[in-house]
Amino acid sequence: MSIGPPTGMRDWLPHETLLRQRLMETIGSVYRLYGYLPIDTPALEDLEVLLGKGGGENEKLLFKVLKRGEKLAQAKENELADYGLRYDLTVPLARFVASHQGKLPKIFRRYHIAPVWRADRPQKARYREFYQCDIDVVGGASSAYEVEIITATERVLRELKLGTYWFRITDQRLLPLILGGFGVHQDKITPITVILDKLDKMAGGSGEAFSELQTILPEGSEELKKTGGLLVEAYADRNHETGRYERLAKFSKYLDLIENSAIRAEIDRILQNVKHIIDAVMAINPSSRIVFDPILVRGMDYYTGPIYEAVVEGFPSSILGGGRYDGLIGRFAGKDIPAVGCSIGFERILAILHDREDALSSTVVARTLLLRQAQEVDDTPLNAMAEQLRNGGIPVETYLDADPVKKQLDYAEQNGIRWVIKSVHNDGTLTIRELATRQDRIVSLDDFKSLLGI
């Protein structure tokens, strides 16, 4: 019998759970500043709901749930399941909005932090059960909502102090139009976007991607020269401090290669909206890290307009992504409803924080242990004293076994407790010890709270 968690899933130790909760609280508190409120939905959704949108490969990764009892006994072989575990938070949102029409405001802002499940092949940093965090505006057609989501999400990244990052933006329609303008045949556009979608994961970077392009486009062709040139130059700029407008200017020379006036006019219209979003974000937050990225691709096929993602220096994958998906919710609601959102890679950010000692230590900094004196026989005074400290805002764990002080101190160190309270005096002061220095001191309640950072 295996006593470990199911394959691709994991247990969470206390310090890991604390870090996860702190991340949730940080994200939630920032989004609430902008008027976004939390929702929750069931882990299970009807299979017809989960299969009712273009989710690409994710539809193959469903954990399906068998029918129960008599329904299962009477089911045909291809109809054994009726529910599935949600594999993202966007489909549940679409179903949620359709279910609660008339109860929600015209402009509905929400965030949702919850686990999702995918029947994927487990590998390092890739699990079958993991957390996602989504922020969405439903009912807002203006690009001002993209600006708001990007501004709020950049605030989250600053609060988390993840380091140097870039917030890339383009439009889902832009790259296919450009490739078509280069003369790339329609049936080759999707394979090319698949290559670009995995570009950051390629060990050989743009060189490896160009080699794959050569298997799709004719060697020496104009399509290969134009597409390859755009790929190599845009990739070189991707993670460097290239000026936003310099980057746009460099990109414009590839647009000049497009002779079809109708395609060029559509590209100019779309690009103007992207420029407007960048300018508006910069006007609100001059330190924004937003940059135009013409070769950015988002895998989900429900995006209909601007798309974006963020990457952190030194981390191999994007940490968030999103965009406008005006057609999705209408499939459930029966009418057109515009929507735009962003999904934060909760697990990826958690991995970055987990590798930082300052983030780990901050999850336990406020833990304290009230020592039991050797002569104490009755636990009641000890617990009463601990309760008084808690009433004063001090988080306290009591040591209830009649063990020597050294053993109690060993317990504190083994469990990541930084401070111990050795005694409480009649004047309200405390004798405390910081385990790292092995030094005792007498402090007031307020001074101790300052030391704990509370």
Q: Find the mean pLDDT for residues 81-92.
A: 90
Same structural domain for residues 137 and 40?
Answer: yes
Alpha carbons 146 and 348: distance in angstroms, whole number: 23
For residue 377, what pLDDT is reported?
65
pLDDT band at 204 (very low <50, low <70, confident <90, very high): confident
- Check whether 152 has a pLDDT greater than 50: yes
Inside any domain, residue 2: no
109 phi, psi to nearest 5 deg: -105, 130
Same structural domain for residues 242 and 348?
Answer: yes
Give the 3-state secondary structure of residue 51: coil
Inside any domain, residue 437: yes
Same structural domain for residues 342 and 200?
Answer: yes
Same structural domain for residues 153 and 252?
Answer: yes
For residue 454, what pLDDT is reported?
76
Pairing of strands 64-66, 439-443: unpaired
Of 317, 294, 29, 302, the C-alpha closest to 171 is 294
Tens-place pLDDT, residues 17-75: 888 999 999 999 999 999 999 999 999 999 888 886 544 555 678 899 888 888 877 77
Alpha carbons 407 and 412: distance in angstroms, whole number: 9
For residue 242, what pLDDT is reported?
60
Q: Find the mean pLDDT for residues 404-418.
A: 89
For residue 344, what pLDDT is reported?
93
Domain of 383, in residue numbers? 366-452
Same structural domain for residues 373 and 303?
Answer: no
* Chain centre distance of CA 169: 17
* Chain centre distance of CA 321: 8
Alpha carbons 402 and 287: distance in angstroms, whole number: 57
Cβ atoms of 107 and 137 within 8 Å: the answer is yes
Number of domains in the chain: 2
Inside any domain, residue 21: yes
- Check whether 97 has a pLDDT greater than 90: yes
Cβ atoms of 284 and 147 within 8 Å: the answer is yes
Inside any domain, residue 1: no
pTM of the model: 0.84
CATH number for the domain spanning 431: value is 3.40.50.800
